[in-house]
Amino acid sequence: MIIPAQGPRMKEAVRHIDLGAEFHTAERCSIIELSNTPDDPDVSIARVRVAPGVATRWHRLIGTAERYVILGGSGRMEVGDLSPRNVNTGDVVCIPPSCRQRITNIGQNDLLFLAICTPRFRQAAYEDLE
C-alpha cells in the first residue's frame, strides 16, 4: 500500500540562475538561492562565492546537515574536529548538523561552491560562533 505524503510537496519547476539576485551576507560571502522553498522542505541549494583571501565566519547550522560541492577555486576547509583541509574543484565537504565550520579562499580567483542543506536552510538554524 502506498501512503501519500502529508504536508508541503515539491512542485515541478525549472529555475534559471539570476546573477543579479546574488546578495552579500554578514558571513563574508555572497549567495544566490537556487532552490529554497517551503513546498520543497527536504533540501535547499545555494551557490556561494567567497572572494580571494576571505574567510567565512565560524558558524554552525542547528538541525541541518550541509554539503559543499566545490565548483571552482581553492579553499581551506575547517569543519568540526578535522584538521584544516585544502579543497578544490570537484571536492565534496560533508558537514553534520550543529558542526562548527568555516572556509577560506586561498586562491587568486573567487571560490565557488554549492551549499546543499537538508532539511532546507532556514535562517533560524544559523548560529554565528564568533
Domain ranges, ordered by start, for the chain: 39-125
**What are the grid coordinates assigned to 107, written together?**
586562491
CA-wise closest residue to 65 among 106, 108, 98, 112: 98
Instruction: Give the pLDDT band of residue 76 (cuts 50, 70, 90).
Output: very high
Instruction: Give the pLDDT band of residue 9 (cuts 50, 70, 90).
Output: confident
pTM, to two decimals = 0.90
User: What mean pLDDT comes out for the span 97-101?
Assistant: 98
- Best CATH choice for the domain 39-125 from the list 3.40.1670.10, 2.60.120.10, 3.60.40.10, 3.40.50.1260: 2.60.120.10
Strand order in the sheet with 59-61: 85-88, 74-79, 101-105, 59-61, 126-128
Within 10 Å of residue 117's Cβ, how many Cβ atoms? Answer: 21
Instruction: Give the pLDDT band of residue 3 (cuts 50, 70, 90).
Output: low
Instruction: Give the pLDDT band of residue 4 (cuts 50, 70, 90).
Output: low
Query: What rounded mean pLDDT belongs to the chain?
Result: 93
pLDDT at position 16, please?
87
pLDDT at position 73, please?
98
Q: What sign for the dihedral angle of Cα 68, 123, 30, 61?
A: negative
Residue 19 DSSP SS3: helix
